[in-house]
């Protein structure tokens, strides 16, 4: 073995290490374990004027406990939920998917403002243990792995499996872009989180809207059987919207009207030409429509044909 060559290689490696030792020291400083970020100095309550928030940040700064930041995030941002493996957030009107938790991640960066507020309050140039820990924590919050850890910890606080199961399940609420109309109370109101709505008609509810042409159309086409026909149509609409397997044929003349009226509620999937007709229950003799059984069945077949473009209801 060439001893002088080996010594030369070692010398070269030593020089490289010496050249980069500053960078290594900095990286290791920010990746210290939690016990090396211990800080027993409590924050001044005047910084936030909120005992609960101050207590949370005291816990966070002492050891850089990211799980405490996850809990603080849950306290400050209650309009999020983690359900069925997906993040959702309430916009004030509907529940929307938050793909990869992007909106939630933006909220985490707001912690930097709070931490900077602490630095501004003490203004000691980062000489104390407290301000050094705060500066290191600010640096960590700009790293993706730190944000990932906070989001992961937040899942146990935001977990709500029933949200996904009950989205858009309250059929008596007609969702508009500015609120919901309650068909049971005949009132329009602001949408609440517990309404669990994720779809709307995409237009605002106008209590003063009055289109004479629409009234003329309904009264002319439906005549004295308006209530009966509309009730039946609503029943089938409700059933089909909740069951994507039985939907509208693309050739029905009602399709563009329904799509414009229903907005997001309109089903996205379409059946093939092999899709079965809607299964209409057998009509009993007592019926609100004053026609014989044959006429009533014919009437329903016509209604379903207009609705689905199928030749008959089975």
DSSP structure string for the chain: --HHHHHHHHHHHHHHHHHHHHHHHHHHHHT--GGGG----PPPTTTTS-HHHHHHHHHHHTTT-HHHHHHHHHHH-TTEEEETTEEEEE-SS-EEE-GGGHHHHHHHTHHHHHHHHHHHHH-STT-SHHHHHHHHHHHHHTSHHHHHHHHHHHHHHHB-HHHHHHTT--TTEEEETTEEEETTTTEEE---GGG------SS---TT---HHHHHHHHHHHGGGHHHHHHHHHHHHHHHHH-TTS---TT-TTHHHHHHHHGGGS------TTPPPP-PPPPPS--SS-S-HHHHHHHHHHHHHHHH--S---
Residue 194 lies in a domain: yes
Same domain, 38 and 150: yes
Among 74-83, 91-100, 142-151, 264-273, the range scoring the smallest mean pLDDT is: 264-273
Looking at the chain, how many residues does it have? 314
Same domain, 158 and 268: no
Residue 75 lies in a domain: yes
Could you tell me the pTM of the whole model?
A: 0.64
Structural tokens at position 188: 């329009």
Same domain, 85 and 51: yes
In 10 A of CB 30, how many CB atoms? 13
Dihedral (Cα; 219, 223, 224, 229), 10-degree rounding: -90
Same domain, 63 and 118: yes
Tokens 């301000």 locate to: 131
| CA separation for the pair 61, 14 (Å, rounded) | 37
- Mark which of 150, 181, 206 sits at the end of a domain: 206
What per-residue confidence (pLDDT) applies to 60?
Answer: 93
Same domain, 122 and 136: yes
Same domain, 53 and 140: yes
Same domain, 238 and 217: yes
Mean pLDDT of the region 143-157: 96
| CA separation for the pair 296, 46 (Å, rounded) | 76
Domains of the chain: total: 4
What per-residue confidence (pLDDT) applies to 38?
Answer: 77
Same domain, 259 and 274: yes
Among 3-17, 71-85, 140-154, 192-206, the range scoring the smallest mean pLDDT is: 3-17
In 10 A of CB 307, how many CB atoms? 21
What per-residue confidence (pLDDT) applies to 74?
Answer: 97
Does residue 241 surpass a pLDDT of 70?
Answer: no
Residue 313 lies in a domain: no
Residue 314 lies in a domain: no
**pLDDT band for position 297 (cuts 50, 70, 90):** low
Mean pLDDT of the region 70-83: 97
Same domain, 246 and 280: yes
Same domain, 113 and 233: no
Same domain, 196 and 238: no
Q: Which domain holds residue 200?
A: 168-206
Residue 252's nearest CA partner among 219, 228, 279, 277 is 277
Same domain, 17 and 88: no
Residue 95's nearest CA partner among 177, 198, 193 is 198
Residue 299 lies in a domain: yes
Residue 89 lies in a domain: yes
Which of residues 263 and 118 earns the better pLDDT score? 118
Residue 300 lies in a domain: yes
Cβ(134)–Cβ(61) under 8 Å?
A: yes
Does residue 280 surpass a pLDDT of 50?
Answer: no
Q: Which long-range contacts (CB under 8 A, 24 or more apart) does 181-185 make?
A: 181/205
| CA separation for the pair 237, 235 (Å, rounded) | 5
Which of residues 15 and 53 earns the better pLDDT score? 53
């Amino acid at each position: 073995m060439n001893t002088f060559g080996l010594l030369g290689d070692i010398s070269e490696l030593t020089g490289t290490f010496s050249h980069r030792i500053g960078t290594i020291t900095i990286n290791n400083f920010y990746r210290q374990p939690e016990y090396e970020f211990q800080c027993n100095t409590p924050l001044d309550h005047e910084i936030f004027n909120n005992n609960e928030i101050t207590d949370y940040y005291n816990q966070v700064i002492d050891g850089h406990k990211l799980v405490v930041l996850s809990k603080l995030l849950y306290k400050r941002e209650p309009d999020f939920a983690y359900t069925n493996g997906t993040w959702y957030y309430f916009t004030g009107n509907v529940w929307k998917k938050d793909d990869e938790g992007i909106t939630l991640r933006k909220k985490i960066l707001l912690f930097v403002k709070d931490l900077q507020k602490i630095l501004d309050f003490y203004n000691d140039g980062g000489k104390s243990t407290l301000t050094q820990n705060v500066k290191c924590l600010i640096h960590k919050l700009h790293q993706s792995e730190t944000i990932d850890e906070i989001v992961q910890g937040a899942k146990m606080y935001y977990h709500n499996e029933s949200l996904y199961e009950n989205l858009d399940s309250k059929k008596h609420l007609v969702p508009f872009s500015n609120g919901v109309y309650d068909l049971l109370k005949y009132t329009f109101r602001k949408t609440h989180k517990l309404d669990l709505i994720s779809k709307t008609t995409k237009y605002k509810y106008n209590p003063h809207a009055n289109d004479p042409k629409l009234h003329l159309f309904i009264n002319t086409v439906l005549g004295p059987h308006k209530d009966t026909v509309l009730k039946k149509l609503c029943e089938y609409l409700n059933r089909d919207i909740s069951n994507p397997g039985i939907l509208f044929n693309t050739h029905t003349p009602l399709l563009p009207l329904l799509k414009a009226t229903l907005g997001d509620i309109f089903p996205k999937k379409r059946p093939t030409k092999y899709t079965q007709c809607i299964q209409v229950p057998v009509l009993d003799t007592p019926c609100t429509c004053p026609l014989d059984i044959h006429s009533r069945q014919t009437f329903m077949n016509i209604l379903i044909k207009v609705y689905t473009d199928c030749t008959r209801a089975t």
